[in-house]
Chain A
Amino acid sequence: MITCQTLFNSASDYVESTDSSNPVVRFSLKQRISIRFHLLLCKYCRLYLKQIRLTSRTASALTVEVTPTDQEIERLVQRLKQLDD
């Protein structure tokens, strides 16, 4: 049986492997079963995993729109045009 600390250490990877449509992080069947089994028995890790997911989604929710102004675009166009090779 894995410990809470082990689960904590792989929590972010676990979130990646389960939430992402094209996961880069993959767990073996054995790892997956031991994580699931631990979660079944441990309410603190269930809570932690839920909360780290929520934290991750909250970071996304704090995204701001970064758009250059027309003036900035024009200034940069002029600068790039004048670059020497």
Chain B
Amino acid sequence: MYENETVLIDGLIAKRDDAFRYAIEQYQGSMMYLARSFVGDKLADEVVQETWCSAMRALKGFEKRSSLKTWLLRIVANEAKTRLRKENRMTSLEALTAADPEFASRFDDNGHWGAHRPGDWRADSPEALISSEELKLCLDLMISSLPDLQAATLNLREQQGYSLAEICNILEVSESNVRVLLHRARNRLYRCVEHFQETGECCTQ
């Protein structure tokens, strides 16, 4: 019966055990995944716990303009931002969306690829790429070291399959900024794969 969101919300407001259990089973994984990418493994648990508490307190005012899940993820993102700001660890949006100078230097005055241009990769599927355990570990490390909003955008888009519009709503960032964040995050991974193809070594070493 809790598949019906209105019934679920009423159950949560009435503090029914089975409603809590259902909601946690449905949403906790996704909330935790986002929180880990945003603030790291150590703080993620606290952020998600805080989210549940503040969400349950605010539930009566939930206007159902988005799904319950999107609303919860939005609170996760807010808790994460608050936490990082308090610790002065939040990277500015300007810095996260600024052009990557390494890439800018790859183009000549006419805007054509210069000496460091795309070369052949010895793999043409994700499976083939990450069949190298070394590269897989390297990329996992790279993804977990992406800065906050870049990491969160990549997580929501590539790993949780949210649309750009939903990501704007969750992260409270404009659509054009979400697009740039995604572009930057993808290109950091791109450089990592490329570096591995060129040298056989991890980019972060």
Interface residues of A (CB under 8 A from B): 3-6, 8-9, 11-13, 16, 20, 22, 24-25, 44-45, 47-48, 50-52, 54-68, 72-73, 76-77, 79-81, 83, 85
Q: Are A44 and B193 closer than 8 Å at their CB atoms?
A: no
In whole Å, how far is A61's beta carbon from the nearest beta carbon of chain B?
A: 4
Interface residues of B (CB under 8 A from A): 15, 17, 20-21, 24-25, 28-30, 32-33, 36, 49, 52-53, 56-57, 103-104, 107, 110-113, 117-121, 123-127, 129-130, 136, 139-140, 143, 154, 158-160, 163-165, 175, 179, 182-183, 186-187, 189-190, 193-194
Q: Are B125 and A59 closer than 8 Å at their CB atoms?
A: no
Q: Which residues of B contact A67 (CB under 8 A)?
A: 28-29
Q: Which residues of B contact A65 (CB under 8 A)?
A: 29
By DSSP majority rule, is chain B's interface helix, strand, loop, or mixed?
Answer: helix
In the complex the two chains form, what is the Cα distance from A60 to B143 in whole Å?
Answer: 11
Q: Are B25 and A73 closer than 8 Å at their CB atoms?
A: yes
Q: Are A62 and B130 closer than 8 Å at their CB atoms?
A: yes
Q: Which residues of A contact B33 (CB under 8 A)?
A: 64, 66
The answer to whether residues A81 and B139 also contact, given A4-B113, A13-B179, A48-B118 and a CB cut-off of 8 A, is no
